[in-house]
Amino acid sequence: MLTNEDNETLTRVGPGTPMGELFRRFWLPALLASEVSEPDGAPVRLRILCEDLLAFRASDGQVGIVEAYCSHRGAPLYFGRNEQGGLRCAYHGWKFAADGECIDVPNADHPRDNSKARAKLGIRAYPTREAGGIVWVYMGPPERQPAPPALEWTLVPPSHRHVSRWLQRSNWLQGAEGEIDTSHISFLHKDHDPATSAIYVTGANLAVDGAPEITVKETDYGFASGARRQLGDEYFWRVTQWLLPMYSLIPRAPSTAFTGSGGRAWVPIDDYNTTTFAYAYRVDQPLSADELDMIEKGAHFPPRTARHAVQLGSGQPIDAFVPLANFDNDYLIDRDRQRTSNFSGIAGVSAQDRSVQEGMRGATGQPRGIVDRSREHLVRSDVCIMIARRRLLRMARELQQGLEPDLVMNGDAYGVRAISKVCATAGFDEFLQQFGHECAIQQEETK
Ligand code: FES
Ligand SMILES: [Fe+2]
């Protein structure tokens, strides 16, 4: 359990909050590059860390992520014209470059020829970069811009990876905690038919042992957790990586050589909504047609989604991919299927996860709030969650005291892998001695 104070610290992400400021020290996935594929194309409405933003690709190919409202009288720039090096507000024609500079004020003479005066009329803009099919944004102090995280899925050729994003209507931590909660896989994601079980993401045989022995190795980037399940005379090991502040790497099914993995990143929209980014990749070859088909149909990994403008309660609408199975339709639960074919009665790993994470009991007793962690009863298998919370709380509080996170300057720290193995090795230390080189785990313990 957590005190209400700690829970508030971990979950609130607006400007000035401890966790909001910590997130602002990292590069964050903002949207898919394919959503702004065309220079001078339509902008995309975003909200990140409680700020309304707009992404657009300018004429020179640069992606701008800027505040969503015009500096003149606050009109939504979404309705503007993206043309000739900037976004022109539809109301009175003021124009803004991708870096936020106001470059034209056509309805007034005064600042038009006065660049100093015009500079004051700029809108907030954040640095962006593109990698891994994603546009990333950095929303922190300019002088502390971090190194790009060398996440392997961002480095493989485009044919070797699949990325997607969708809206999750919960606080970010409810999603992120599910990623490092290995024991739920044996239940929530159990499929009675091995042919359709979530092998792609989780590996086979997870249902055999629902109480894995979990050992956590803290590292500079977060931690590696080893979940050991009994499998006949041997052990089935899954090493999952958690990378600060909110990335997971989940192993594929066991194999002798590393072929790839997948995972998710949880980017807070505000305190109650999150953009989930999912990635799957191979290192050895392009994703096969079958693999892509499975991913795109949403059979296991991302959900089927459709892009909509969504009103979340405050500010402007955002453009989000909304899962077709969602809170409003009970995630299309099929009770017959639950009796006969899978544990949840819900199709797809992601919809299964959302069904239990979006409706968690909030402090007011209402679902879709922020889960009340003072009322939980954590057990041994929740060890990863306890460690992640402790780590995040410590970093957020240190930052409040002026201690910047060193990690953000070390992008290479993110170059790790998630693996799974079937072997006779019983201890995690021994396992790492044997196979640690395959996941490039940094053995350095953090205090
Ligand atoms: S509100 Fe945008 S130009 Fe007037
Ligand atoms: Fe899950």
Domain containing residue 113: CATH number: 2.102.10.10
pLDDT at 280: 93
Residues 255 and 222 in one domain: yes
Count of alpha carbons within 13 Å of 434, Cβ hemisphere only? 16
Query: Which residues have CB atoms below 5 A from the ion given as ligand 2?
Result: 353
**Amino acid at residue number 317:** P
Residue 248 placed within a domain: yes
92 CA closest ligand 1 atom index: 3
Distance (angstroms) between ligand 2 centre and the Cα of 165 equals 16
390 in Cβ contact with 10 (< 8 Å): no
Judged against a pLDDT cut of 60, whether residue 28 lies above it is answered with yes
Residue 234 placed within a domain: yes
Residues 362 and 234 in one domain: yes
Domain count, the chain: 2
77 CA closest ligand 1 atom index: 2
pLDDT at 110: 59
In 127-272, at which residue ranges do the beta strands (DSSP E only) sit? 128-131, 134-138, 161-168, 213-218, 222-231, 234-243, 247-251, 260-268
pTM beyond 0.85, yes or no: yes
Domain stop point among 108, 127, 144: 144
Domain stop point among 128, 144, 160: 144
Nearest to 56 by CA among 74, 76, 41: 41
Residues 194 and 249 in one domain: yes
Tokens for 417, please give them.
């892998």
Q: Which of 78, 94, 105, 121 to mutate to test the pocket of ligand 1 (most atoms within 8 A of CB)?
A: 94
Q: Which residues share a beta bridge with 362? A: 371
Residues 374 and 300 in one domain: yes
Report how far apart, in Å, the C-alpha atoms of 438 and of each of 136, 221, 256, 260 are: 28, 17, 10, 11
Residue 82: domain span: 27-144
Q: What is the DSSP string of 33-94?
A: GGGG-STT---EEEEETTEEEEEEE-TTSPEEEEESB-TTT--BGGGSEEETTEEE-TTT--
Residue 19 placed within a domain: no
pLDDT at 200: 37
Residues 349 and 382 in one domain: yes
Residue 13 placed within a domain: no
Residues 361 and 404 in one domain: yes
pLDDT at 443: 43
Q: How far is Cα 71 from Cα 120, in angstroms, rounded to an integer?
A: 9
Within 358-412, residue ranges assigned H as helices are 383-400
Whose C-alpha lies nearest to ligand 1, atom 3?
92
350 or 198: which leads in pLDDT:
350
Domain stop point among 94, 120, 144: 144
* Number of residues written out for the chain: 447
Looking at the CA of 190, name the nearest ligand: 2
Residue 21 placed within a domain: no
pLDDT at 258: 83
Residues 168 and 290 in one domain: yes
pLDDT at 118: 73
Residues 74 and 195 in one domain: no
Residue 11 placed within a domain: no
